[in-house]
Structure 1
């Protein structure tokens, strides 16, 4: 990325709509009510042939105290300080407001470079607002319509010379690269952790006010996400790419998930849907519980969802710093975990404090272990030796006097591990015997907690050679008859 562009302005001027257009996807939540965006969201933008980082920000508020609006404003001001260019957006239909004038003055003092845009500029109703924008003293306003894509060529023309400047500066500042001539490999390290071609996708999920944003801020080492005592602050599923002590991660902060019956507001429904989407695209899901009220019904539903989606799961219990009887509490937590979530038996359970940072090293190790197990692969020879032992110890049932024969087993996939057993009468195999095999796989091949998929197949299922002899014989006979 050659430069970063922050979209700033009052609430409801169309920043998130423009953000979605620039990244080419509907990443940011958009609604008619103001103040939907609260956190900073980054995306890879493409405009013409130019690529850059675009930052969607919360609407600039006039509050400067410790209220939610005041904290949102400070986060936006931080984005202004970080960004190379600020695109200051006003609503052309409304015209310039006193708040716009205040924020224009702030940008003149803090921003490195400011571009003024009069959004919602389609039609004659916006003419007056575009003219008013000249009074802000930030140069000629770009007339845009983020919703309809109008004015994108003008924005490109404004950004191109700035992009050239930043690219030239980046090339000048780039350090000389050194070639690594070492040919020593560590086979044990390669076995412990699969090579990551891209950052590991980690989603942090849980009920409102469990401390998800605070936890991610502590991992980052900076207040990058909006936090506070109010429940439900996070609305968008925000992703951040970091290097967590040598482990490249893309961590998703998600909105708190309440019971479905309690979610009536349209915006909250959008927020929850955004969080569910993050779970489906994650590789490891961290289910964050509140130590004071762990394993509520909603916690169980969230953990079960992650398992059904086939994600690697880590259970993290937050606010451990305020617990007194820690040993007794931990014993109760482990007992409740095994009893209430048997489908995740053996999954990592770690205690953390998002406030103090205690336990983050254990959480990182648990995430790495869960990811490694999720990618586990077992050779066919090992599986069939193991299967013989399992059948000898506990033969499958004989429905209607016909014994089910397990003939062959192989691993069909990873992420999560999936296995196929070739057998007779697969439709008559009881679930209890399948669970017996799954539990045996977990124990024998050290795959605790990860979802395991097991499919029973009959000998005729997907057999590419079935009927081939008869078919070939028929074709030969037909060919000989033609020659006669």
Structure 2
């Protein structure tokens, strides 16, 4: 699991500039993926040999009717709660403000590595005007200019030294890890309690990676599971307007750790934009997925209700059209026992391997049935196909024109792989490479 680094500070100190510098893209997110194109406030970052998730708290709006200082502190607390390391940013040109001082006081009580940074310091001349900062009793201030990349490498080299090692225990490695994801009040707690009540074989409770999360190991039909329950994190009263955007960060942490994600949808409200965002994160991370529609017992139904509901979900989440859907009631227990069966099936599909010889028989057949189009007057030819990884299943097609394979033909190949070998609930990754050339002796 990747560590999380949060950039904290009052507005206009350059948090987003530093974020973009570290993410190395002005988009502030490495890939545009379904469901996450509007929220550009986190990124997966690689720095040298280390990788981590970066949060830009500057991407969260402030409620205009509330006191600014109070909001800055609330925002900082939320980021601190998620993060393993804090980058606290101030503005060297503007100087130390009362809000900066409040945040410094808040951070003193936090038992996490905190790197205090003075931004917008473009040269030694500006460093002479930092007396107020050095009076605060901070062991070390890092002077940087994020816009011009001054001092950023030195800062990050020190930050990387403080990244915690996050290795799962042997018990965690052996279990199927299931993340229960969804918006507040969709019934996550009720579902988790109902699932655990079916078997009564709770081994122990392990502290999760956030203060309020609990990982619960248990057994079901002879298989070991760990439920990653984030239901207790961030109630509406604590976040208000900021809720949805921090739910994305919360989901990101859980998805990073899990094998299979359960997206819980409220049958009464239907699928929402936030549900689609969470689904997009799962797709991005290449994790197995099951869509669970909760509160199905309160829906007035006829012979067409389920079919219509399935169509609505698949229309809004076209990129997850391969995942199974199950309709349940956590309150009554209706069909809840089937969730673990679906999750385990999904887990096994994510680990499925197909031998190369079988794959190339498959490839020859699908090409005969539907040959690829020509490129610049030349026939696109496939040399062979190989599966190179699992979790998610990953396939490499070797061809003479790897960049000319149209999206529609890529989708055709993925659909044929699913039609032939299953992979229900498992995302597939397809890559196209040029044919290997033999070097002259």
Tell me which interval the TM-score lies in, with the shorter structure as reference length. 0.5 to 0.7
Give how far 1:339 is off: 2.5
Candidates 330, 340, 358, aligned match of 1:364: 340
Tell me the SS of whatever aligns to 2:379.
coil
Tell me the SS of whatever aligns to 2:179.
strand
Give how far 1:342 is off: 2.7
Q: Does 1:282 align with 2:248?
A: no
Candidates 319, 327, 330, aligned match of 2:306: 330
Q: Does 1:377 align with 2:353?
A: yes
What are structure 1's unaligned runs of at least 5 residues? 1-30, 38-144, 150-195, 225-233, 471-484
Give how far 1:272 is off: 4.5
Matches within 5 A, 1:394-433: 394-433=370-409
> TM-score by structure 2 length?
0.55
Is the CA contact (8 Å cut-off) linking 1:206 and 1:289 kept in structure 2?
yes
> TM-score by structure 1 length?
0.50
Tell me the SS of whatever aligns to 1:219.
helix
Is the CA contact (8 Å cut-off) linking 2:264 and 2:294 kept in structure 1?
yes
Change (3 A) 1:348 1:271: closer
Give how far 1:268 is off: 7.5
Tell me the SS of whatever aligns to 1:449.
coil
Is the CA contact (8 Å cut-off) linking 1:409 and 1:419 kept in structure 2?
yes
- RMSD (Å) for aligned C-alpha atoms: 3.5
- Give the structure 2 partner of residue 147 of structure 1: 111
What are structure 2's unaligned runs of at least 5 residues? 1-71, 79-108, 114-171, 201-209
Rounded Cα–Cα distance in structure 2 between residues aligned with 1:250 and 1:148: 27
Rounded Cα–Cα distance in structure 1 between residues aligned with 2:220 and 2:338: 12
Give how far 1:239 is off: 1.8
Candidates 311, 314, 338, aligned match of 2:290: 314
Matches within 5 A, 1:91-170: 147=111
Matches within 5 A, 1:58-457: 147=111, 198-221=174-197, 236-255=212-231, 272-325=248-301, 327-457=303-433
Is the CA contact (8 Å cut-off) linking 1:236 and 1:275 kept in structure 2?
no
Change (3 A) 1:277 1:146: closer
Tell me the SS of whatever aligns to 1:221.
helix
Is the CA contact (8 Å cut-off) linking 1:208 and 1:257 kept in structure 2?
no
Is the CA contact (8 Å cut-off) linking 1:406 and 1:421 kept in structure 2?
yes
Higher relative contact order (CA 8 A, sep 6+): 2
Matched residue pairs, number? 270
TM superposition outliers: structure 1 runs of 4+ over 6 Å: 263-268
